[in-house]
Amino acid sequence: MKKTLLSFFIYIIGIIVYSFINISTNEVISTLTYIFIYLALFLVLYFINNIDYKKKITLEDLKYTAIYLTIGCILIYISTNIINKIIDLPQNEIALREISNAHPIRFLISILIYSPLIEEILFRHNFNFIKNKYLYLIITSLLFAILHINSKSELLYLIPYTILGLIFGLTYKKSDNLLLSTLTHSTYNLISFIILII
């Protein structure tokens, strides 16, 4: 529990530091600043939490992950399309689209590397102290979802974000492999990016 609180505290400090330092309009300087701060943040979280990425990924793990990801993507697609008819896109999604246009390299580094690495440590690994699998899945998925919306007007988006958190949580709990849930997170982000640019 202490490591979980410390990890979230460090994560928040990292975001605050980045928001204060990221004043350059130069794309190269801005991207290098981003890479440096998030690499430092990842390394601190990695060492604080004694992360082990050496566990082997089995074919059985890949099979279940593919099933979770496929079903989850379908549910997210359906729920998001229904919600989009009721309310606008969430600010998180709008910001990501703006960043993808303004800073494509930083965007790709973020969605494919840093976000999956850091978020899987924060939302999956850090909650291993919860022994009940169902309670673990509910808490981590809802927390993941809540931290991806910005206002009360976006509450309906808790549905797709919670489903997304469930995909990663199920992958992690089934395999007990943080690398696999991180790769699943990267894969989902890549699929979303491809759909965005098509």
pLDDT value at position 25?
A: 63
Percent of the chain with pLDDT over 90: 56
- pLDDT class of 101 with cuts at 50, 70, 90: confident
pLDDT value at position 74?
A: 95
Contacts of 157 (CB under 8 A, 6+ apart): 80, 83, 90, 145, 148, 149
pLDDT value at position 68?
A: 95
Within a domain: 28: no
Within a domain: 185: yes
- pLDDT class of 22 with cuts at 50, 70, 90: low
Distance CA 175, CA 180 (A): 8
Distance CA 57, CA 124 (A): 17
* Least confident piece of the model among 4-8, 47-51, 86-90: 86-90
Within a domain: 43: no
Query: What does pLDDT average to over the chain?
Result: 88
Within a domain: 141: yes
Domain that residue 144 falls in: 55-197
Please compute the mean of the pLDDT values over residues 24-48 and round it to a whole number. 83
User: Beta-carbon neighbour count of residue 39 at 10 Å?
Assistant: 14
Distance CA 156, CA 93 (A): 14
Within a domain: 17: no
The more confidently predicted of residues 108 and 169 is: 169
Within a domain: 172: yes
Within a domain: 68: yes
Within a domain: 41: no
Q: Against a cut of 0.85, is the pTM above it? A: yes
Q: One-letter amino acid identity for 15?
A: I
Instruction: Tell me how many domains the chain contains.
Output: 1
